[in-house]
Structure 1
């Protein structure tokens, strides 16, 4: 292929970037010129800027709010501005293909790609398509799904099920490094608690309210979100981080159990690593309910237990984690029966086949 130029897009949360992080290095190895279009202040800018060889471009973008705000009236103009910006970037870079992971920053990019006649591939991680992807699907040539059930919600002529794309570096975690980072040891179960890339106020509060009881059962790594570390809760066996990236593989290596939100990318990574999970999905009041469906699917298959946010308090959290500890061997056995397909290479092959 003569034109080995590609633009990636996607952002708003870490989940809308992780698949891109897994795929971008492979394109760089094959000599592609890689650009990324994201928002000005989203987490994608921080994550992508750390990759050598990728040029990052910021565009204006809207945001889906499930509450009244005067910003809702401004968003169409932001999307229009972002579309014009993306149109200019695509015209200058002349990519052979665009790959989108979703999030509202991807909408103006996909519209601009259609206007420029550049083929685009969308990846949908969740059980049901998010609103941004629903808007963007008409502008794409191909839509890839993680859950086989998602195919029922996608246009048949564009859709293809590829399974979960898992970052290979997560399999390279080192237990010795993990224990050195945390000061923990192998004599007690380690619990990794994650509230998503921006953290969860309620999960953080419940963890800290039940901390003394939890520490009798577990060593705890708590990834609590930006500006959410609280030094008042420093304890032996309890380590807090705002956010981790390179260290995550080593922290996962020492983790026996996971307590997490139910974003699709994350839970499939935990599944691939055979980590029993307690999932606390975002409520329908705070989201479109995609995490609830993700969590229910994993619980049905025996990979996880689910605690609804409406039922979450320090007592229910402690009880659910204690039950997870009891169930972990059965869960791990079920997880070993899961066979992930070679999804990453399949995505790469599809992107290259769609490229102009």
Structure 2
């Protein structure tokens, strides 16, 4: 779902600036982003998709067929809709759409969120008219003549939410610290289990808002100060961020960007054997979060991390400043300007 968030942020910024925008999102039929897009009121079309896994899997046998069908569907869709521009932030379902855009002479903007480019963006780089990147360190991985460092766009509502509104929304105590636990758009079974197993110890220090993820088992019972939700719409998620004193999360770039924009101390547990490990390593290098290895987490290690992000004021201040410095605060405006330049709405800088 993280690949959708920066695109919605750009659309909302265009509207905020008075631009008339008609939007069509293309995704997969079972993608978690579908609910978010529907809540925003945008049109949605699903196409076939294939994902090339780095490990041996029977699913890799069927990938070429999914890609071929997706290419045909994308070509017909782009020809029918005649879009002015195609925006993508690195999902595999976007590869055939970007290819169709190149074939039919529609400008394509590819946004690179993670610290290192993934396979989807490697494939789409040749189709891109422009490429935007979250981190300055990533610029060298793409063709420099069409790559721009913008940072990662965030939705305006994230910065507008207020803690006092969240207290009533989630029935929280204004006198207690709040820990937000979130496992990404699809949730994290491992994080859910770990928090549930140790919730009584955690509640000795704070109250907890726990977003388990769509379709994941809910861990609630009748535990006071433990507020569990399968899913939060983005306006509620913004409130949860606003009221939180610290966050436990995966290392998806949309989440990291939100933490950076809000200067939130965080315990980051990357998904093993994924691009998130590179993102988490970057955070660790910058001393911008407490990074834990899922395969090596004990209650003792988590407890020490919790003390740093929630209790020790000096540690909290240092982590807050370090993560705040990670990404530009005007990323949404910069990325939106690139789109306006591509559409000929403003002169190129």
TM-score normalised per structure 2: 0.91
Cα distance change on mapping 1:76 and 1:339 into 2, 3 Å: closer
Deviations 1:149-207 (A, max 9, x none): 11121122221111121211011212222112222212221100111111111111111
**Structure 2 residue aligned with 1:141:** 129
Query: Out of 272, 294, 306, which is 1:321 matched to?
Result: 306
Deviations 1:7-37 (A, max 9, x none): xxxxxxx111100121123445411322221
**In structure 2, C-alpha distance between the alignment counterparts of 1:179 and 1:21, rounded to whole Å:** 27
Deviations 1:270-306 (A, max 9, x none): 111111011101112xx2xx22222222233232111
**In structure 2, C-alpha distance between the alignment counterparts of 1:173 and 1:215, rounded to whole Å:** 25
Deviations 1:204-225 (A, max 9, x none): 1111111111110111111111
* 3-state DSSP of counterpart to 2:144: coil
Pairing 1:187-202 to 2, within 5 Å after superposition: 187-202=175-190
**Structure 2 residue aligned with 1:51:** 40
**In structure 1, C-alpha distance between the alignment counterparts of 2:34 and 2:52, rounded to whole Å:** 19
**Structure 2 residue aligned with 1:20:** 7
Query: Which ranges of structure 2 fall in alignment gaps of 5 or more residues?
Result: 345-349
* 3-state DSSP of counterpart to 1:144: strand
**In structure 2, C-alpha distance between the alignment counterparts of 1:260 and 1:340, rounded to whole Å:** 21
CA contact (8 A) 1:164 1:341 kept: no
**Structure 1 residue aligned with 2:284:** 299
Range 191-200 or range 31-40, more displaced: 31-40
**In structure 1, C-alpha distance between the alignment counterparts of 2:192 and 2:84, rounded to whole Å:** 44
Deviations 1:316-349 (A, max 9, x none): 3223212322221232344565672422122122
Are 1:260 and 2:249 an aligned pair?
Answer: yes
Query: Out of 262, 274, 288, which is 2:263 matched to?
Result: 274
Are 1:115 and 2:100 an aligned pair?
Answer: no
Are 1:60 and 2:48 an aligned pair?
Answer: yes
Pairing 1:1-356 to 2, within 5 Å after superposition: 14-28=1-15, 29-52=18-41, 54-231=42-219, 233-245=221-233, 246-284=235-273, 287=274, 290-325=275-310, 326=312, 327-335=315-323, 340-355=328-343
- Cα-Cα RMSD: 1.9
Query: Which ranges of structure 1 fall in alignment gaps of 5 or more residues?
Result: 1-13
**In structure 2, C-alpha distance between the alignment counterparts of 1:58 and 1:234, rounded to whole Å:** 40
CA contact (8 A) 2:13 2:333 kept: no
Cα distance change on mapping 1:33 and 1:218 into 2, 3 Å: same
Aligned positions, number: 338
Deviations 1:36-72 (A, max 9, x none): 21112212222112223x3222111112334433321
**In structure 2, C-alpha distance between the alignment counterparts of 1:169 and 1:35, rounded to whole Å:** 21
CA contact (8 A) 2:95 2:120 kept: yes
Shift of 1:232: 5.3
TM-score normalised per structure 1: 0.89
**In structure 2, C-alpha distance between the alignment counterparts of 1:152 and 1:338, rounded to whole Å:** 18
**In structure 2, C-alpha distance between the alignment counterparts of 1:145 and 1:329, rounded to whole Å:** 28
Range 333-342 or range 38-47, more displaced: 333-342
Cα distance change on mapping 1:338 and 1:127 into 2, 3 Å: closer
CA contact (8 A) 2:134 2:327 kept: no
